Structure 1
């Protein structure tokens, strides 16, 4: 797979509300299945589009992005009071063991999907903590998102989570995206 990050010069695209056609706030919050005092991280948060949508439903939200430029753009947009910006690679998160109740990633799994990253997610999630992944599917058209050869199918993503010690109750292919819910 050819891993890359999203070009900060194109970050305005990340604020387009048409993104909800791929994953709505309600779908994301429903699959996270957390309570109001939960500690949750958005992996590959970018400008905070989905972070801002989930933040009102949790106690503490971490907006994790590997690119300081994206964190700065998020800061300029305004960050909710319960959101903390964290500049980090998913493979080396600055959280204690069992610190997070859930994590989610919207359209960024293909950027960090490695055995080391998934092992790190397993380490930082509480027992029963959820990872909710919505990303471009390798079985889609390729009209939007990264090139097809940089994507995973739902079954392949589910197998990667299972290999990292997760149970995977949900692995779905959709027209352009996949949905995987993995439980630590």
Structure 2
């Protein structure tokens, strides 16, 4: 998979509520199964579109993005008080072993999902912590999101997560995306 980032000059597109057709806030929050005390990381948070949805259900939130400029856009928009900005690649997270109680990515798995990124995620998640992944499927038609040759097939995403030590609880293919819920 080729690494790329979403262009900051198109950040306003990340605030488009039509994104909920690929993953609703309710679906994401339910998959995370939070009780309100957890430390949660949004991997590839961008402008905080989904961070804003999850933050009310978490104790503390990390908005993780490799582009500090995306954090600038998010700060300008305004972030919930329990959100802390972290500029880092998923393969080099500044968290202690087991520090995170949950993590998720929405449409960014294809940007970081190599062996080092998944190993780092496993290291930072507490035992039994949920990792929720919603991403563009290689089986999709490519009308939205990145080109299909930059996407993972659901079976490959599941196999990669299992190879990194995750237990996959649920995996489903949808019209343009897939959803995987796994535990560390």
| TM-score between the two structures when normalised by the length of structure 1 | 0.99
For residue 10 of structure 2, give the secondary structure of its aligned residue in structure 1: helix
Residue 3 of structure 1: aligned partner: 3
Q: Which residue of 1 aligns with 2:58?
A: 58
Deviation at 1:181, TM superposition (A): 1.0
Corresponding residue for residue 143 of structure 1: 143
Q: CA RMSD in A?
A: 0.6
User: Do structure 1's residue 104 and structure 2's residue 104 form an aligned pair?
Assistant: yes
Runs of 4 or more off by more than 4 Å in structure 1? none
SS of the residue corresponding to residue 172 of structure 1 reads strand
Structure 2 CA distance for aligned equivalents of residues 84 and 105 of structure 1: 16
- In structure 2, what is the Cα distance between the partners aligned to 1:79 and 1:34? 20
Displacement after TM superposition at 1:125 (Å): 0.4
Deviation per residue, 1:9-52 (Å, 9 max, x gap): 11100000011111011110111112111100000000000000
Deviations 1:57-116 (A, max 9, x none): 010000000001101000100011000000000001000001001000000000001100
CA offset digits 1:117-140 (Å, max 9, x no partner): 100111000100011000110000
Query: By how many angstroms is 1:157 displaced?
Result: 0.3
The answer for the alignment partner of 1:167 in structure 2 is 167
CA distance in 2, matches of 1:93, 1:172: 27
Structure 2 stretches of 5 or more lacking a match? none
Deviation at 1:171, TM superposition (A): 1.4
2:34 aligns to what? 34
- Quick one: distance in 2 between partners of 1:182 and 1:160? 12
The alignment partner of 2:127 has SS state of strand
Aligned partner of 1:16 in structure 2 is 16
